[in-house]
Amino acid sequence: MAHEVHCLKAQLEEKEKEIVALKNKLAHLEKGNASVLKLYEKVTPLSALQAKAALSNEDIMRYSRQLLLPELGVQGQLNLSKTSVLVVGCGGLGCPLAQYLAAAGIGRLGLLDYDEVELSNLHRQVLHGEENQDQAKALSAANAVKRLNSTVECIPYHLQLSSENALQLIQQYLVNDACVLSGKPLVSASALRMEGQLTVYNYRGGPCYRCLYPVPPPSETVTNCSDGGVLGVVPGIMGCFQALEVLKIASGQGSSCGQQLVMFDAQDARFRSIKLRPKQAGCAVCGENPSVTRLVDYEAFCGSAATDKCRILNLLSRDQRITVQDYKSIMDNAEPHLLLDVRPLVEVDICHLPTSLNIPLSSLEDRKSEHIQLLQERISQLKLQMEGDCRPPVYIICKLGNDSQKAVQVMEKMSGSEVESITVKDISGGLMAWAKRIDPTFPQY
Amino acid sequence: MAAPVAIHLEFGGGAELLVDGVKDHHVTLPSQPEPWDVKQLLVWIRQNLLKERPELFVQGDSVRPGILVLINDADWELMGELDYQLQDQDNVVFISTLHGG
């Protein structure tokens, strides 16, 4: 009897070794395939994520430092391994978020982005490298995550959540409603300039995004990173914060941000937690009598707000505008004129045309006295130089040709009263058109 | 007659751009017959702090969609919104929701 037990034990041990060897072989082969991750262009149903019964020795070693935390423990680690997370946007927030979720051993990561990697992304979107430029962000992020932890299942989606350029705003309402309708918490963060915000929506009696913001804000109040600027580490901090809350929820500890708005002020190095309203009974999607019971047309809901990230204004008539080619010949012929650059000083410091006078649009609008005086002087000089009672030409330039149009309208009101009579036109397409069509060495930003 | 109330106003998330880019404002609301409430505060801000484009801050007698009001570190919805009566040394934050990252 004792002999039989001993034999069986030995056999079992043998088989277990065999299983480990087979698993290692499989893992090795799968690692080799990591470089050929498939990029999904549309959403397809996925097989259910299999729950692990126990941690392998490799798991134990890899996650040992977090397994030691009583807040996580073995059960928490197993919970992570059976959780799927969809990361919407593989940018400044999504990169650190995906990175820490993968590092911690999340089961499956959906990585969604419609965009390709650009040079101007790299200061904050830290999963992408120089060699990934022009590659789909979702794929670039997935490959980086796979290198970090090959046991995480990565599904890169190269698609947009709405038909037009998926503006943050539309995406926010869409993702919120999708989460409410499918009963998932939404760990949401944003970062701009030197500030960040974070809230977990639709979680344990807390509000959803619509409870807080039932009506979308007007389009002009929505600033994105390409307009407002952002210091890369600010979304980095907020993305890490998102990862923290996701890990707390997924492991079973729970998040305390369900009815909280966390605000981060990077300038003052200060975090603040604000108590928010609870879930609202009258909410259109999570309330008692919801009017939104499936996903709707979010562009229509958000109004004309939902257009391209760089809107092109058309305020002026054709004869009030010149092209960059026209301006080039004015320069080449040394025709007397005044070139007025109406961008903010911080942008003029990045690049400007050598002859331009900088007066920001806001100073023109506010009629800042020192600027108006400067303008008067320069126009008078120009008039003297032109020796005649003509109307000296003033050409206005900005980055893309939107603010310059507004400035033409302001200057036309000033012409003949606050300054001498002038002919004022704007340069269509601004400095970026100049860089593209006239001077390829001129910086683009 | 209600006594003057000294309060701390903060603007953030981009809302500070409507008040000359200044985030912190320590202001004293003058003495008036009725106690000051948030509704009257918004009128006062419109008249005294907003430099341009007040429609980007107020709409009707409330704040425009997308701005969250916090009174003493709590969502104003928990405090009575427009009807909340301001106390001396109150802290009122106007924060524009951020979109980006």
Identify the pLDDT of residue A306.
Answer: 40
Beta bridge partners, A290, equal: none
Total-model pTM: 0.80
The pLDDT value given to residue A207: 97
> Is residue A280 exposed (0-12), middle (13-18) or buried (19+ Cβ within 10 Å)?
middle
**Residue of A196, A238, A275 with shortest CB distance to B74:** A275
Q: How confident is the model at residue A51 (pLDDT cuts 50, 70, 90)?
A: confident
- B74 and A274 within 8 Å at the Cβ level: the answer is yes
Which chain B residue lies closest to A93 (C-alpha atoms)?
B101
Report the pLDDT value the prediction gives residue A109, as an integer from 0 to 100.
96
Q: How far is B31 from chain A, CA to nearest CA, in Å?
A: 30
* Whether B60 contacts chain A with CB within 8 A: no
Ranking A145-149, A314-318, B40-44 by mean pLDDT, the lowest is A314-318
Contact A226, B100 (CB under 8 A): no
Q: What is the DSSP string of A34-96?
A: GGGPPPBSS----PPPPPPSS--HHHHHHTHHHHT-TTTHHHHHHHHHT-EEEEE--STTHHH
- A113 assigned binding-site residue: yes
Query: What was the pLDDT predicted at A302?
Result: 79
> How high is the pLDDT of residue A166?
41
Instruction: Identify which of A115, A303, A114 has the alpha carbon closest to the alpha carbon of residue A222.
Output: A303
Q: Tell whether the model's pLDDT for residue A304 goes beyond 60.
A: no
Whether pLDDT at A32 is above 60: no
Q: How far apart are CA A252 and CA A333, in angstroms?
A: 72
Chain B residues lying within 8 Å of A216, measured CB to CB: 65-66
The verdict on A194 touching B (C-beta cutoff 8 Å) is no
Please state the separation of Cα A309 from the chain's center in Å: 11
- Does any CB of chain A come closer than 8 Å to the CB of residue B67? yes
Q: Which residue has the tokens 């941000």?
A: A257
Q: Contact at 8 Å (CB) between B62 and B41?
A: no
The mean of the pLDDT values for chain A is 90
- pLDDT-derived band at A277 (thresholds 50, 70, 90) equals very high
Residue A237 has pLDDT above 70, yes or no: yes
Q: What is the pLDDT of residue A163?
A: 43
To the nearest whole Å, the CA of A196 is away from the closest chain B CA by: 8
Quick one: which of A38, A268, A272 has its CA closest to A158? A38
Q: Under 8 Å CB-to-CB from B12, ≥6 apart: which residues?
A: A195, A263, A265, B23, B93, B94, B95, B96
Domains of chain B from N-terminus onward: 5-96 (3.10.20.30)
Q: By the CB < 8 Å criterion, does A197 face chain B?
A: yes
Is position A257 annotated as part of the catalytic site?
no
For B55, name the nearest residue in chain A, comparing CA atoms only. A218
pLDDT in tens, A153-194: 999 999 876 544 446 778 889 999 999 999 999 999 999 899
pLDDT at residue A204 is higher than 80: yes
A403 annotated binding-site participant: no
Tell me the nearest-neighbour CA distance from B1 into chain A, angstroms: 33
Residue of B nearest to A232 (CA): B101
Average pLDDT over residues A288-292: 94
The answer on pLDDT for B20 being more than 70 is yes
The answer to whether A154 is a known catalytic residue is no
Reply yes or no on whether the pLDDT at B88 is more than 60: yes
How close A412 gets to chain B, by Cα (Å)?
20
Q: Is the pLDDT of residue A411 over 70?
A: yes
Name the A residues in 249-268 with CB < 8 Å from any B CB: 261, 263, 265
CA distance A417 to A141: 58
Give the Cα separation of A154 and A99 in Å (integer).
Answer: 12
Find which of A23-37, A72-86, A284-298 is predicted with most confidence, using mean pLDDT. A72-86
Mean pLDDT of A371-392: 88
Q: Determine which of A257-266, A293-302, B55-64 has the lowest per-residue pLDDT on average.
A: A293-302
- B22-80 confidence digits (pLDDT tens): 999 999 999 999 999 999 999 999 999 987 788 889 998 999 999 999 999 999 999 99
pLDDT at residue number A85: 97
How far is Cα B67 from Cα B56, in angstroms, rounded to an integer? 10
Among candidate residues A95, A179, A225, A302, the one labeled active-site is A225
Give how far Cα B19 sits from Cα of B23, B48, B53, B54, Å: 8, 10, 10, 10
pLDDT band for position B101 (cuts 50, 70, 90): confident
At A188 the pLDDT is 96
Report the C-alpha gap between A361 and A91 in whole angstroms: 31
pLDDT at residue number B17: 87
Rounded Cα gap, residues A86 and A156, in angstroms = 10
